[in-house]
Homo-oligomer: A and B are copies of this chain.
Amino acid sequence: MPLDIVSSSKAHGGTQGVYRHHSRSTDTVMTFAVFTPPQAETGRVPVLWYLSGLTCSHQNAMDKAEYRKAAAEHGVMIVLPDTSPRGAGVPDEAGNWQFGSGAGFYLDATREPYAANYRMYSYVTDELPGYLATHFPADMRRQSIMGHSMGGHGALTIVLKNPDRYRSASALAPIVQPTTADWSKGAFDKYLGVGSKAQREYDATLLIQDGRRYPEFYVDQGTADEFLDTGLRPTLLRDACEKAGIRLTLNMREGYDHSYNFISTFMGDHVAYHAGHLHR
């Protein structure tokens, strides 16, 4: 499984790199970013996955999420996957930012013509961890996961399905019930089929209803987020966690919107939260 280095640059004492490889999960070339903290010079370091939101690639958070300072201080590797397969031959919908390129929703599609490429769940939980273990000074026994918006949905659903693999999980403005939210329902119907049982496997609140558990979620949500009431609806997660006995820290952040200004403001808190679990 060869890996190409697209770029590599010293940052905050560590290395910010961008890497490219052919993915067997998506059957496309995939690009991802890794920040390797300075502590990796003397041993393997724990891994924090950051899953990005709709329309983003690895690049947006790499440029704007301001995670490197905290990651260098805490000795945590940050991994930023892309949000979908891309490229010639991948079925896409030009002009629809809620489906196709940039909108993989961290699921494995079951419906044609999407099932061959849109397999971001397998990519993030199975294939890419293999690359980290092989090519990077990553201690894969210590992983945590977080994400923003669609990536928050990804982080929550992935830990609910793999609770023993991740030491902690957090989210910034997550989509908590994508099967009914206005900006994700259409994609779920196309990737997984209208009314399919598979949809429940990729919906955080429904996974909790169906008995999946995780000890604790740490969530920040801006009160001025333009998608709060229609796409995000954190109270649905709060209700599901209360019923299930899952600890939820839900910080409503006064005046913050959905942008990277919100993400970068609270990123340091999230890295510190995960570092507390990863270095325990």
The answer to the question of A268 belonging to the interface, with a C-beta cut-off of 8 Å to chain B, is yes
A279 CB to closest chain B CB (Å) equals: 22
Assess A257 versus B10: contact at CB under 8 Å? Given A64-B63, A69-B66. yes
Assess A255 versus B10: contact at CB under 8 Å? Given A16-B261, A69-B268, A261-B16. yes
The answer to the question of A28 belonging to the interface, with a C-beta cut-off of 8 Å to chain B, is no
Cα-based distance from A13 to B66 in the complex (angstroms): 15
Instruction: Choose among A256, A264, A265 the residue with the greatest number of B CB atoms under 10 Å from its CB.
Output: A265
A21 CB to closest chain B CB (Å) equals: 22
Task: Tell me which of B11, B66, B224, B268 contacts A261 (CB under 8 A).
Answer: B11
The answer to the question of A259 belonging to the interface, with a C-beta cut-off of 8 Å to chain B, is yes
Cα-based distance from A64 to B12 in the complex (angstroms): 13
| Residue total for A at the interface (Cβ-Cβ under 8 A) | 23
Q: Which residues of B contact A10 (CB under 8 A)?
A: 222, 224, 255-257, 261-262, 265
Q: Which residues of B contact A260 (CB under 8 A)?
A: 63
Q: Which residues of B contact A68 (CB under 8 A)?
A: 66, 261, 264-265
This chain's copy number in the assembly? 2
The answer to the question of A9 belonging to the interface, with a C-beta cut-off of 8 Å to chain B, is yes
Cα-based distance from A11 to B259 in the complex (angstroms): 9
Q: Which residues of B contact A256 (CB under 8 A)?
A: 10
Q: Which residues of B contact A11 (CB under 8 A)?
A: 261-262, 264-265
Q: Please list 12 pairs of residues, one from A and one from B, whose beta carbons are closer than 8 Å in the complex, sorted by A's number.
A: A9-B257, A10-B257, A10-B261, A10-B262, A11-B265, A12-B261, A12-B265, A16-B261, A63-B64, A68-B264, A68-B265, A69-B265
Q: Which residues of B contact A66 (CB under 8 A)?
A: 66, 68-69, 264
A106 CB to closest chain B CB (Å) equals: 25
Given contacts A9-B261, A12-B261, 11 further A-B contacts (CB under 8 A): A10-B222, A10-B224, A10-B261, A11-B261, A11-B262, A16-B261, A63-B63, A63-B64, A63-B260, A68-B264, A69-B69
Q: Which residues of B contact A222 (CB under 8 A)?
A: 10
